[in-house]
Structure 1
Amino acid sequence: MWSFKLLFTALLTFLAFTGAIVAYAAGDATAAAPMAVEGVIAKRQPLIEEVPVTGTINPLRQALLSAEVAGLIHEIHTDIGDRVQKGDLLLKLDPELSSINRDAALAEVARVRETVADSRRRLAELQRLLGDKHVAETEVESLGSEVRERSAQLQAAQVETERLSALLRRHRVDAPFSGIISLREVDVGEWVEPGTALFELVDTDSLRADFQVPQRYYPRIRPQTRIRVTLDNGQTLNTRVEHKIPVSRSGSRTFLLRTVIDAGSRNPPELIPGMSASAVLQLKSDREGIAVPRDAVLRYPDGRITVWVAAAGSDWGVPVNVREQQVTTGLSFNGMIEIRSGIEAGERVIVRGNESLQPGQQAVLKPAPIATSEADNR
């Protein structure tokens, strides 16, 4: 019995010893195999400060449409939600009375024109008789005055006809621009006055994003400053500042910043007026610093921030020693992070595979396919 226990104990000891040897050999083999990673060369570059702001998508054109003359609504040719084109008929007022007045004015023009023609004919006859001394000169002058008076009456009648024709044309309401009918306030049979709201028309193809920006950034924003707009659905648009309004709100200490969004482009974003949007202003900071891709930076729960760097004098494609270096970060922009202390320009920084590196491990670096660092890695 005791011999069996001794034999069993010896066997367990042998197996444990053998496992330790195998594990040590495997670990040694792992340590001996350099790990393939990707890196970039840290460089100095102009730094950009990113400022997050929130705002609203608004239409460039939004109008409450009304009639120019008073009248009874006779026809309605559109409804809420309809898309209309510039010049489309939206509504007609009852034109009956205005048509009668215009026709009466046309008849008056015809009547006065006949009187003018008759006066001119009689004036021509008197002028021939005046040459033969058969009529007094005062009669000719009197008839000439009558011709001029009736010509003026004809002109006045023609102007009145034009006025009544213009009023008749204003018995219809046309779309002043293309857009969507977002509101309808009236129905057939209602009496409306000039200024009465009939429809609201919104141009959904020409949109703007309005943002309220802290006033301290006003001097640093220029027309065409880049701004990245993010919609509620996650879609991102890269636009530029069109206008900054030089008026600060006393309560919030902000000013209005406007960027125009082309919703009628080849691939239009899914935008509707009134939806919220967030944006990131990219402002030049007028200074340079070392910046590396965001993937190169590791953050730990204890607050440490580190990057992995290759040993000095290392090159691409050959095994090199790497070390973990604690750093201090600054601005973050365009997928890059400013490194204020911890590394120098020209050092090779690992951006992919750095999460698996261990102290004392070797690695084989190859240039990372990142647009911001591609030129420097060649």
Structure 2
Amino acid sequence: MAGRTGSWALLLWFLAGVCAADTGVRVGLATVETTDILRELRLTGTVTAQHDASLSVAAAGLVADIVVDTGAQVAAGDVLLRMDAELAQLRHAAAQAQVAQAEVRARDAQRRLQEAQSLLPQRSIAETTVRELVADRDAARATLQQVTAEASLAQALLARHTLRAPFAGVISLRRAERGEWLTPGQAVFDLVGLEDLRLDFAVPEDYLASLQEGAPMTFTTAARPAQEFTGTVASLVPVTDTAARTFLLRIAPADSARDALLPGMSVSARLALATGRKGISVPRDALVRYPDGRVVVWTAKPEGGALVARENTVTTGLAFAGQIEITQGLTVNEQVVVRGNEALQPGLVLAPTGDTP
């Protein structure tokens, strides 16, 4: 009985091998194509804000109230700080009172002039008197304009005792305390905008000719190293550091990346630069590297009505965008194995799965 069991097991093993041979090793294939060869430039930079300012007061005085603290998010126009404005309020009130008095005088001068002008047809008033009344009216109007301007000035000086956010953002640093005496131009808050962020990189001048505005790029952040984002070259500043011979490269991130960015973050970017030549390339996954230094690409060759594995030792060139340039060892239109190539042997029958990059 034991002999029969062993025979059945041997038969099943043999049949499984035959089925596997008929089915073939499941692999994913890709076609070798001619493409533009690119050079990949890797950079490390920083997220910067278009709006980043140290806010200062425009009038001297004591701090009466601090409305926000470090870390607060504010909208444009929000009140950040109020200064003691008692004297400014009194000056403004006095100026408004002068405006009210001047308005009364101007109206009275206009009324007296109109009454006098109505008497001219009857020659009941001298023309000299009318001219004097015209001069009085004009003087009253001029006085009204003057005190109105003084009231506007007092209003502007009063407004300077309140510090407002010039743009939306986050308070990155508070520099003042309640009761502190401030002078014009003294920094009180650091405000950083969270909109219109950009990525700034210092790039060696050798690459200046290869970069163009609008060129695409990919980048990752230190906070999310496994997630790739996209952006485009926004501007190039040819000279920023003459000692290091670098220039400023500014990248505009795509809208999908903005929620993942904060000013001051470290970012790593990859840009594909044109080399001006064409060549053949294969997906990075097609390469198999051995401890002895050999680099191999497995190809699928039609033989006897089936696809069989063939080993090709290759010489590689530049790596870019998930592709590897092949300078020797392959030709255009060959089928290369990009999935399931880890344990292939020459002559194995292959079964393409359609799983290609």
Q: TM-score range by the shorter chain?
A: 0.7 to 0.9
The separation in 2 between residues aligned to 1:154 and 1:245, in whole angstroms, is: 54
Q: In the alignment, which residue of structure 1 is the partner of 2:349? A: 363
Displacement of 1:48 in angstroms is: 2.1
Task: Select the residue among 143, 168, 171 that pairs with 1:178.
Answer: 168
Q: Which residue does the alignment assign to 1:82?
A: 72
Given residue 259 of structure 1, which amino acid in structure 2 is its aligned partner? I
- The Cα shift of 1:224 comes to 1.6
1:36 corresponds to 2:26? yes
Q: Deviations over 1:101-140 (max 9, x none)?
A: 1111111122222222333333334434444444433232
1:310 Cα shift? Answer: 2.7
1:240 and 2:232 matched: yes
Q: Does 1:287 align with 2:277?
A: yes
Call closer, same or farther: CA 1:145–1:319 in 2, change over 3 Å: same
Task: Confirm or deny that 1:158 pairs with 2:148.
Answer: yes
2:338/2:356 contact within 8 Å kept:
no
Runs (5+) with no aligned partner, structure 2:
1-9
d(CA) in 2 for partners of 1:178, 1:118: 49
**Does residue 325 of structure 2 align to residue 335 of structure 1?**
no
Paired residues of 2:231 and 2:251 also in contact (CA < 8 A): yes
Residues in 2 aligned to 1:280 and 1:177: alpha-carbon distance in whole angstroms = 32
CA offsets 1:137-164 (integer angstroms, 9 cap, x no match): 3232223212211211111111111121
Number of residue pairs aligned between Structure 1 and Structure 2: 340
Does the CA contact (< 8 Å) of 1:37 and 1:363 recur in 2?
no
1:200 to 2:190 alignment? yes
Q: Would the aligned equivalents of 1:307 and 1:326 in 2 still touch at CA under 8 Å?
A: yes
**1:259 corresponds to 2:251:** yes
The separation in 1 between residues aligned to 2:344 and 2:168, in whole angstroms, is 60
Q: Give the CA RMSD over aligned residues.
A: 2.5
State how far apart, in whole Å, the 2-side matches of 1:210 and 1:93 are: 38
Q: By how many angstroms is 1:367 displaced?
A: 5.1
Alpha carbons 1:248, 1:254 under 8 Å: kept: yes
Q: Displacement, 1:352?
A: 2.2
Equivalent residue in structure 2 for 1:52, among 24, 27, 42: 42
Q: What is the CA–CA distance in structure 2 between the aligned matches of 1:358 and 1:99, rounded to whole Å?
A: 91
In structure 2, C-alpha distance between the alignment counterparts of 1:321 and 1:347, rounded to whole Å: 13
> Which residue of structure 2 lines up, in the alignment, with residue 16 of structure 1?
none
Separation of aligned partners in 2, 1:35 and 1:287? 36
User: In structure 2, how many angstroms separate the alpha carbons of the residues matched to 1:121 and 1:320?
Assistant: 109
Q: Return 123-132 or 335-344, whichever deviates more.
A: 123-132
- Whether the 8 Å CA contact 2:229–2:254 is kept in 1: the answer is no
Percent same amino acid at aligned positions? 40
Hey, what's the Cα distance between the residues in 2 that align with 1:247 and 1:314? 60
Partner of 2:98: 108
Aligned amino acid, residue 164 of structure 2: D
Give the whole-Å Cα distance in 1 for the aligned partners of 2:293 and 2:67: 66
- TM-score, structure 1 length as denominator? 0.82
For the residue of structure 1 that corresponds to 2:201, the secondary structure is strand
Matched to 1:191, the amino acid is W
Q: Distance in 1 between matches of 2:73 and 2:189?
A: 13
Tell me how far 1:91 sits from its aligned partner: 0.9
Q: Tell me which residue corresponds to 1:348.
A: 335
CA distance in 1, matches of 2:78, 2:143: 38
TM-score with structure 2 setting the length: 0.87
Distance 1:68 1:314, change over 3 A: farther
Question: Measured at CA, do residues 114 and 303 of structure 1 come closer, stay the same or move farther in structure 2, by a change above 3 Å?
Answer: same
Separation in 2 of the partners of 1:314 and 1:251? 62
Q: What is the deviation of 1:369?
A: 2.1
Residue 320 to residue 64, structure 1, CA distance change in 2 (3 Å):
same
Q: Do the aligned partners of 1:184 and 1:199 also contact (CA within 8 Å) in 2?
A: yes
**Compared CA separation, residues 248 and 60, structure 1 to 2 (3 A):** closer
Distance verdict in 2 for CA 1:59–1:160, change over 3 Å = same
* Rg larger for: 1
